Structure 1
Amino acid sequence: MRRFTEGLHGYVVAVLVCLGAVGLFLLVTPRGDVEHIPRRDYSITVANFSRTVPYAVWAPATDPEGWIPNSNRVVDGENGARALHIGYATAEREHAMFMQSDEKPAAEFANRMANSDKAVGTQQVGGETWERRFREDKKQRTLVRVLPDVTLVVTGTADWPELGQLAAALRQRPKPTT
């Protein structure tokens, strides 16, 4: 018995026993092959945000097919401006986010959210023109639409057609009465 606990032979036996234990553990541990992306309902965040800003809020009327809303928040910005953020995992499992704010100047908000101040063209979405921006080092594409009372930004690693799907889903919601 002493032969199994001493020298190189003992070391090899100990390593094989450990590898066998790890292999057995991996064999009996349940694994899910199903992707799990947490779903976050943004309806309450949008409703609360709508009550705190002086303009009619934009939000997706419906989520694009196969998309999972996975984050939402309200951010207090400069000069009392507030911003709404709604994040998604797209059908292609890329990231997309919709943001809006009445921050002035609008260009500063758009530049910060796009991580770029350079337009690379335009894109028609539902009959409206959105400005395209692209930041190559982050592979971040952004659509920007500046309206008189609010700036809308759709951004992420999703491709242009997917970002267009999210922009097309946006609808202005009536301002709640108090």
Structure 2
Amino acid sequence: MRRFTQGLYGYAVALFVCLAGAGLFLLVTPQSRDEHIPRLDYSITVANFGHGVPYGVWAPQQDPPGWVPNSNRIADGENGAKVLYLGYATAKREHAMFAQSDEQPAAGFASRMANSDKAVGTQQIGGVAWEQRFREDKNQRSLVRVLPDVTLVVTGTADWPELADLAGRLQQRPKG
């Protein structure tokens, strides 16, 4: 019995037993190769946000195909304003977020969400002009639309067509 617990032979046997046990464990453990992004329904969050703001809330009428809504929250903005955030994993598995608030000044909110205050162009989406902003060091693209009662920002690492797809699906829901 002593030869199994001493020397190089004993070390090799112990190593083999450990590796065999680990291999057996990996063999019987169920493994999933499928990607799993948690899907979070944002309808209750949007409804709750609508009860706390004095304007009709904007939200996607329908999510873009292949997109997964994976985060949503209501937060306090500057000067007592409320902010609604809806986050997505896009079909290309990039990040996109829609944020809206009646925070004043609107330019401050838009600049914080876009991480930039410099417009790089405009884009027509559904017959409406959206301001484009780009922050190269973060690979962040943003579409900004300032309305009289609310500021809308669609932002993320998604490309311009994906962000435009989300922006084009936004519709204002009646206050009530």
Fold in common (TM above 0.5): yes
1:97 maps to a residue whose letter is: M
Distance in 2 of aligned mates of 1:21 and 1:116? 54
Matched, 1:43 2:43: yes
Aligned residues with identical type, % of pairs: 75
Q: Which residue of 2 aligns with 1:114?
A: 114
SS of residue matched to 2:35: coil
Using the TM superposition, give the Cα deviation of residue 4 of structure 1 relative to its aligned residue in structure 2, in angstroms.
2.1
Q: Which residue of 2 aligns with 1:168?
A: 168
Q: Which runs of 5+ in 1 are unaligned?
A: none
Runs of 4+ in 1 over 4 A off after TM superposition: none
Taking the TM superposition and a 5 Å limit, the aligned residue runs for 1:24-173 are 24-173=24-173
1:107-131 Cα distance to aligned partner (Å, 9 max, x none): 1111111111121212111111111
SS of residue matched to 2:50: helix
Distance in 1 of aligned mates of 2:115 and 2:16? 52
1:53-79 Cα distance to aligned partner (Å, 9 max, x none): 111111000111111111111011111
What number of residue pairs does the alignment pair up?
A: 176
Q: TM-score, normalised by structure 1?
A: 0.95
2:24 maps to a residue whose letter is: L
Distance in 2 of aligned mates of 1:98 and 1:79? 21
Distance in 1 of aligned mates of 2:116 and 2:132? 10
Distance in 1 of aligned mates of 2:20 and 2:140? 45
Distance in 2 of aligned mates of 1:9 and 1:137? 56
Distance in 2 of aligned mates of 1:160 and 1:55? 28
Distance in 1 of aligned mates of 2:108 and 2:18? 58
Distance in 2 of aligned mates of 1:135 and 1:121? 13
Distance in 2 of aligned mates of 1:48 and 1:22? 50
2:72 maps to a residue whose letter is: N
Distance in 2 of aligned mates of 1:42 and 1:51? 15
Using the TM superposition, give the Cα deviation of residue 28 of structure 1 relative to its aligned residue in structure 2, in angstroms.
1.0
Distance in 2 of aligned mates of 1:16 and 1:133? 58
Higher mean alpha-carbon deviation, 28-37 vs 159-168, is at: 28-37
Q: Which residue of 2 aligns with 1:19?
A: 19
1:31-61 Cα distance to aligned partner (Å, 9 max, x none): 1122211111111111111111111111000
Distance in 2 of aligned mates of 1:73 and 1:129? 27
Q: Which runs of 5+ in 2 are unaligned?
A: none
Distance in 2 of aligned mates of 1:14 and 1:136? 54
